Every structure is written in structure tokens, then in C-alpha cells.
Structure 1
Amino acid sequence: MPLLSRYALSGTWSKDELHHRPKSLWRYEEVLPVLQPENQVTLGEGFTPILALPRLSNQLGMARLSLKDEGLNPTGSFKARGMSVAISKAKELGQEACIVPTAGNAGVAMAAYCARAGLQAVVVMPRHTPAAFQEACVGYGAELLLVDGLINDCAAQVKTLNQTGRYFDVSTLKEPYRLEGKKTMGYELAEQLDWQLPDVIMYPTGGGTGLIGIWKAFMEMRQVGWLHPKQPLPKLVAVQSQNCCPVVDTFRGRQANSKQYVGTPTIANGLAVPRPIGEPLMLQVLAESGGTAIAVSEEDIRQGTQQLWREEGIWGAPEGGALLTATQQLLEQGWLQPHQHVLLLNTGAAYLYQSALTGGSDTLVSR
């Protein structure tokens, strides 16, 4: 079971204190695990905007559809949040080198924050990952290792490379700090919406730290008194690709768990996590929130992504495009209602995915 951080929270921490703080995730430092401010490794991550989607709302017949755009984070994705906190803690603990298996964005983020902190970075990535991700890691000075397979195969390689414990392993939920950075999305949602949460949050689900983290944030805000105990919390929806949908299959009862699940690559790289270690926690969040899980096709992901681009001018990643298609399908099924406020949590920008989305070539300049 993954290790989670807990805090001694009380009503003495007032949300009024937030008014004059910098607009970054570090405004919530009381519920982050870095003890000394001088160890905070930051590139200005967090406090990404929540945007109304009026054209798409009208097309879908919805009263309120909005999107939190994590693509505006440093390194172009929500992974900047987790890596900012994890690399800050690695620095505070006196670590000198970090390693991560990645489907793409996490490797880029770790490479950037290790560069910022002056730490060595080793990124282990599937060989089929679009070249832009690979080039970014190399550009930040990381050592890049390519593996045939998916992220679980990369994780096996990391385990082999780190047998001596030389590296600080920031694999998903192998340490508690990335989750703490991701949970700040939940704090921001509440603050930015004046403490009135959406009815439903659509979340693209691979390793699941964001899904788990957002729910953890809601629980902490209830504990500290920022959310009323009787205030309804959003239903969380886990959205996956049909090419790799272990959580959906377990949620739907098609398998006992995902420990033997075999997935295939998807243009939404972040969704290609066939055996997520956090599956039990994700299923718990879905159950507690009254949410659901749904998988969409690769073509639907492409179409949803292009709709975000062309209808709303949002350069969202394919993971975000999957959310739009899933929303339409859940509306058609009657699970979502037109009067509800539905928020899409777009986890990244599209620019690193361009070759996969447009059919261009992936050519990595050799080192």
C-alpha cells in the first residue's frame, strides 16, 4: 500500500491567509511536506486558470462546462506540481540523484526540476514515446534510457538500475511527495471557485495520483474547516483509453484487479499505465465520491482533442481530449445531467504530442 502524508491540521489555519500569498502551489505550504522554505524548488507551478467552455457547453446542451488548464504549468503539464514537491523533498533529504519511469510528461518534469535543483536525473521511457518528450529530457540534461514496452516495463528497468539505492526513486506512489504536489489542484479548485465545488470532475487516469490527490485535498479542507462537513463533494470520473483501461475493467467487474492487465500504447501517453499501483486507492475515491470510470477510443480522443483546439482555442493534450468525449458519452447515457457543473481537468499541453497527433515522424537527435 502506498505511503501517504498526514498533517496535524486545525482550525487555526485560515483561508483568509491566502489572499496575499504568491499564486503558486506553495501558497498551501502548511499542507506540503517540505519543512524549510529554502528547499522549495520552484519554476512557478500551480494556480492554473479555470476556463469556461461556452461553445462546447452550447453544443452539448450543458448549463456549465469548464476546464482547468494544467498545460500552462512549467514543462507543459500537471506533472510539474508533483515533481516540484518531490524534488524539493529530495533536496531537503540530501539526495544527489533521482530516477523515474515515465510515459512522457513526468520524465520531462523531473528532468527540469532536477536541473533547477542541481541534481542528477535519470529518465526511463518507452521507446515509442514521441520524440519531443525524449528531446526535452535530454535538453534538461537528464540521462535518457529507452525501453521497449510500456511504463511497467520501464519501472522494472528502474528497479534493476536502483538495486543499490543510489537514486531517489520518484516512481508513481513509490514515495508520498508527488501526490502532495498533485493534491494542490483540489485546493485551487475550491479557492478559485469561491469554495463552491463543481458537481463532477472528469479526470484522465493513468497512475492516478491526481485523482487520489484531489480527493485527499477535499478531505483535508473538511478537516481544517474550509469545506463544510455537509457540503456536497464532486463526483470524480476516471477516464481512460480503450487501449489501456485497467481501472475501468476492474471498476466494471471484468477483472478482480489490474495485476495481470496487458495494455497497448495510446496517443494519450499518460493513460498508458497497465498495472497502476494506486488502483485500490483510485477505486476507493470513485466509490466514496459516487463517481464512475469510462474508456474511450483512440479516434474519439483525437476528435475530442481537436474540438478543444478549434472550438475553444485550448491547446489541450490528448488526455484532455479524452475527457470531452467521455463527457458527451456520459451525457448520452444519462449518467451526467445537463444542469450540472462539469469540470474537465486537462492535464497537459499538446505541443509535445504533435507528431503523434498529426502523423508526423518521430526522430530523436542522437546524443
Structure 2
Amino acid sequence: METILEQRISYLSNLTCSRCGTQHPAFQKQTVSPCCHIPLLAHYLKDAHFPKSELKQREGTMWRYKEMLPVLHPENIVSLGEGFTPIVALKNLAAKYELNTLLLKDEGQNPTGSFKARGLSMAISKAKEHGVESCIIPTAGNAGVAMAAYCAKAGMRAVVVMPRHTPKAFKEECYWYGAEVVLIDGLINDCAAKVKELNQHGDLLDVSTLKEPYRLEGKKTMGYEIAEQLNWTLPDVILYPAGGGTGLIGIWKAFHEMQQLGWLEPTIKLPRMVAVQAANCQPLIETLAGRQPNAQNYVGKPTIANGLAVPRPLGEALMLQTIHESGGTAISITETEMVTGLKELGASEGLFVAPEGAAVWMAARKLVEARMISRNEKILLLNTGSGQKYMENLSDVFQ
């Protein structure tokens, strides 16, 4: 065991149940916690430390933070160059709305065109490390595309289950990566039920959101990058489109890990985290408002922001925890408002974002108007994907 520890590149120590805190071994294949059947969280050695100055010499991908990522040996990394996406200053919109600082981290510039590249690169890398040969995923679009691409790179079989109404671009990209695509009537929860049926014998690794511990670890690298790209300072508020919620949870996790590493000054206040959902599918808002105990029976509707059509997120409790701990909130955006946001970001800033990214911008506008965000604060928006894939959803906007 000592030889393995000496050779490995990661400080990974254990996995804990996100409900009861029971520890589980991190060096064998895991899905959800055996104790409570909910997400497992990766933890790293308490004495983990390396100077952030070392990052200056490293490649511009998410793997620059390898010590705080779960892949133990570099030969298992399955990468297409994901991460270290730019943070763009939206100066035209900031001037128009009298905002001091308005920034956007553009995840649409990742391989496969979305932030899902981060999580699936990590999940498939760990699957490879555990000797997995086949993976399956329910998806609203982007996650399926990303899994198909990384499975292709790793030489694994990929089975993608997605709603039949998913835009054609997502389906075709999965086909080009050699994935088996199964189309289902309904939303992602219906796809999840089909995945359970197809995988009843457990022959495939289910890499659904938070049903394995490592997609979250890929997503958290957005938090590391935000701090590094802002010269180890943080925004006052971060607005994030929360469907399954791994990005929201992961960014918050990253901030705490950087505090442990000593990379953030003790006086730095962590940002308020704002979860943005679609009005057509807003389970988090319904739970926060007390109109339901949780999202287990919530029924949502399709939305042009496919990634927000997640009616029963497994990570609901972790999202709520992030919102409460950060002093943040949740807000929903209508389909019409998303289209307005798409047009405004395109015409004012030259950015063609995913509808999820447009929702985040419109949420910022509404919260500024409601004085829940000050015009003097440093505001960071997360755009999770490229608008190009959503053209079918938007085909009638200008007709």
C-alpha cells in the first residue's frame, strides 16, 4: 500500500455519505452510499498541501489541480483538454444596467461544447481506473454527448438514454461518437427509470448525476479556476443554472478545499450562491418555498434549457445546503425571459450562450432590480454550454 501511495498523484483519502457522514473506501468502485443510498463525497488528506505557485507551470486544463482530484495514476486520465475556460467581462451590459462588475465564465468553450466535459472526463477516468468497460447515462443532452465522447476516447461501450424531444444536434453527436442511443418519451427522470431497467444486472456503470462520486469532482474545478483566474479573490455572488446541481455543489466544495489548502486568505468572504431554474421545472424553488417537503414527487415540464429539465434531482439536499450556507437563494426564469436573455447577450456581447446561460443573466437582472444583488457587487454568471446545439429549440423565435 505504501508503494501505491508514493506513486499516486492524488491526495484522495476517503468517501463519506453526504447524509450520515459514514466513511467508505475510496480505492474501490463506488456508486451511492451503501448506508443511506444517497451521494458520496470525496475527501482528501487533511495535511494535503502544495503551493499554488506550482500551477503557473502547468497545462491549461482542469487537471492542473490533480492533487485535489480523485484519479490516482496519470495513465488513467481520459482527457480532451477540458477546463480553464475563460472569464469574460460583460462591459456593455454592465454599462447598460449600471453594474460595477459583471463577469461570465464561458463553459461552452469546453470539449463537446459544455461544462459536462469536466464531470464526464473525471467519471470516465475513474471508471477506467476501476477496470470498467461499459457505461450508461440518462441525460437531457449535454451529459450524454460528453459521456459518449470520453467513452470513445477510453475505448469503452457507451449507452445514452435521452428524451425523444432532445434537439437533433445532441442525438447526432452521440451517434458520431459511437454510442448506443435510446430515446424515451418524458424527461430525465423517465430516462433514469429506463436506465435502471436496461442495467438491472449491473453490467454497466451508471454515471448518472451524483450516482457515482466523481462527476462532482470534475465540476468542482470551476471553483478552483474562478479563484485562480481572479487572482485568488472571489466574486460577491455567483449565479448558476441548477438542474442536477453538481456544478453548484462542486464550486462550493472547491472553495472550502482551497481554504483548507491555504490558497484563500482567511479574510475572503465566500460568494452567495444563486441557483437558477426554469419556471417550467423548478423543484428547488418549490421545496424552498415550503410547498413540498422535497422534490421526490415533483412533476416538471420540458424547457428550451434542456439541462434544467430535472424534476427530481438526487442532489436536492446538497443544493439546499449550499444555498443556506452561502446565504444565497434560488430563482426561476420563464421561457420568454430566456429568449430575451439570449438576444441580449448575443446583440450586446457577441455571445451565443445556451438557454441555461441566458436564464442566469436574466436572474441577475431580476435580483438586481429586487435589490437582492447590489449594483456595486462583483457578479459572476456561469454559462454552461454553447447555444449552437439548441438551434432546434429556438427555431421559431425569429419566425
Give CA-to-partner distance per residue, 1:78-126, whole Å, 9 cap, x none: 0000000100111111110000000000000000000011100000000
User: Are residues 1:271 and 2:308 paired?
Assistant: yes
Candidates 162, 172, 179, aligned match of 1:142: 179
Is contact 1:11–1:225 with CA below 8 Å preserved after alignment?
Answer: no
Identity of aligned pairs, percent? Answer: 62
Residue 41, structure 1, aligned to residue 78, structure 2: yes
Distance 2:55 2:207 in 1: 29
CA distance in 1, matches of 2:130, 2:311: 31
What is aligned with 1:26? 63
Structure 1 residue 251 displacement after superposition: 1.4
Contact 1:78 1:347 in 2 (8 A): yes
Matches within 5 A, 1:81-96: 81-96=118-133
Question: Which residue does 1:365 correspond to in 2?
Answer: none
Choose the corresponding residue for 1:285, options 309, 322, 325.
Answer: 322
Distance 2:203 2:266 in 1: 45
- Partner residue, 2:358: 321
Q: Deviations over 1:118-169 (max 9, x none)?
A: 1000000000101110011111100000000000000000011111110011
- The residue aligned with 1:364 is none
* C-alpha displacement of 1:230: 3.4
**228, 242, 262: which is aligned to 1:205?**
242
What amino acid is the match of 1:132?
A
Name the counterpart of 2:286.
249
Cα deviation, 1:38-71, whole Å, max 9, x if unaligned, reads 1100000000000000111111110110100000
Q: How many residues align?
A: 360
Which structure would you say has the larger RCO, counting Cα contacts within 8 Å and 6 or more residues apart? 1
Map of 1:114 onto structure 2: 151
What is the Cα deviation at residue 309 of structure 1? 1.3
Letter in 2 for 1:10: D
- By percentage of residues, which structure has more helix? 1
Structure 1 residue runs without a partner (length 5+): 361-367
Partners of 1:171 and 1:188 in 2: how far apart? 24
**Corresponding position: 1:332 with 2:386:** no
Whole-angstrom distance in 1 between the partners of 2:366 and 2:40: 35
RMSD over aligned CA atoms reads 0.9
Q: Which residue of 2 aligns with 1:216?
A: 253
Structure-2 separation of matches of 1:157 and 1:12 = 43
User: Matches of 2:267 and 2:136 in 1, distance apart?
Assistant: 42
Work out whether 1:307 is the aligned partner of 2:313: no
Structure 1-normalised TM-score? Answer: 0.97
Q: Contact 1:5–1:176 at 8 Å: present in 2 too?
A: yes
Matching residue's letter, 2:366? Q
SS of alignment partner, residue 239 of structure 2: strand
Deviation at 1:11, TM superposition (A): 5.9
Q: Give runs of ≥4 in structure 1 deviating > 3 Å.
A: none
Does residue 200 of structure 2 align to residue 163 of structure 1?
yes
**In the alignment, structure 1 residue 190 sits paired with structure 2 residue 237:** no
Paired position in structure 2 for 1:261: 298
User: Unaligned stretches of 5+ in structure 2?
Assistant: 1-37
Distance 2:159 2:346 in 1: 33
Aligned CA distance change for structure 1 residues 11 and 99 (closer, same or farther; 3 Å): closer
> CA separation in 1, counterparts of 2:295 and 2:174?
30
Shift of 1:9: 3.9
Rounded to whole Å, the distance in 2 between the matches of 1:245 and 1:280 is 15
SS at match of 1:144: strand
